[in-house]
Amino acid sequence: MSQHPFPKVTVWNEGKHEKISKEIRELYPDGMHHAIAKYLKEKGLSVKTATLDEPEHGLTNDVLADTDVLTWWGHMAHHEVSDKVVERVYRRVMDGMGLIVLHSGHMSKIFRKLMGTGCMLNWREAGEKERIFVVEPGHPIANGLPASFEIEHEEMYGEFFDVPAPETLVFISWFKGGDVFRSGCCYRRGKGKIFYFRPGHETYPTYYHPQVLQVIYNAILWAAPGSGPAIQTGHCPVPFEPLE
């Protein structure tokens, strides 16, 4: 019934931490992207993965043309992402591709370009408890969730989060150390839908957490492209109505 019952997903991961750190590799032997991709496949989605070190970061024109929703995790190598690929992803978002930005992806070139702000925040790596509250219980990204859920150990991200006010704020996080954070933020840019989701530090098993995975899945369905009108702008010399 929906135009995109089975969105095609590309799970993008910088993929550096997993190579460098034995501890992280033990958590995610094939990289965080594989943990996410495995879950999404089990839910019935069509899923590819791509990483920084592949040619064109795995995001060729063909791959992007065949992607309905792109998920993005990056941290230590944002600057290594080529401007050309950023521009390519940007064009696809304008054209309707969904984009799910995960955790430290807040400082990625593509997210900052789409937001128009610095996108920085406060942070602390202390493995503290996070509790995520649903503040839009009727939103599709809240499907299947309880009123709140906990992540036992996570990096802290705290306000102020330097983004435009989200068009819809779905989640707010509580942290044991005394901070709060707007953890689930919906935006629209061009024809594309964007969702920022906070959790996912590389040293914790966050991408095995059932509610975290549920949110990513929900967000993908929400961000899948629709079949609204193409963006066509420019000179329109002939008016709809006579001017005399």
Interacting residues with a second copy between 145 and 164 (CB under 8 A)? 145-148, 156, 158-162, 164
- Convert residues 13-52 into a mask of x (bound to a second copy by CB under 8 A) and - (unbound): -------------------------------x--------
Give Cα 68 to chain centroid, integer Å.
13
- Convert residues 190-219 into a mask of x (bound to a second copy by CB under 8 A) and - (unbound): xxxx--------------------------
Instruction: Among 19, 82, 84, 120, indicate the residue that binds a second copy (CB under 8 A).
Output: 120
Those residues with Cβ within 8 angstroms of residue 150's Cβ, 6 or more apart along the chain or in another chain: 129, 130, 131, 132
> Closest separation between CB of residue 242 and a second copy, Å?
8
Output the CA torsion 208→56→69→214 (10° steps). Answer: 0
Output the CA torsion 98→101→106→108 (10° steps). Answer: -70
135 is a contact residue toward a second copy (CB under 8 A) = yes
Beta carbon nearer to a second copy, 53 or 125 = 125
Instruction: Among 32, 36, 102, 142, indicate the residue that binds a second copy (CB under 8 A).
Output: 142
Inter-axis angle of helices 32-42 and 210-223, to 10 degrees? Answer: 70
Number of CB atoms found within 10 A of residue 108's CB? 25
Instruction: Among 174, 203, 208, 211, indicate the residue that binds a second copy (CB under 8 A).
Output: 174
Output the CA torsion 199→97→224→130 (10° steps). Answer: 10
Question: What are the tokens at 194?
Answer: 């964007």
> Closest separation between CB of residue 51 and a second copy, Å?
25
**What part of residues 52-91 is at the interface with a second copy (CB under 8 A)?**
none
Give the separation between CA 216 and CA 237, rounded to whole angstroms.
Answer: 45
Determine the interface stretch with a second copy among 12-20, 64-72, 165-173, 196-204 (rule: CB under 8 A).
165-173
94 is a contact residue toward a second copy (CB under 8 A) = yes
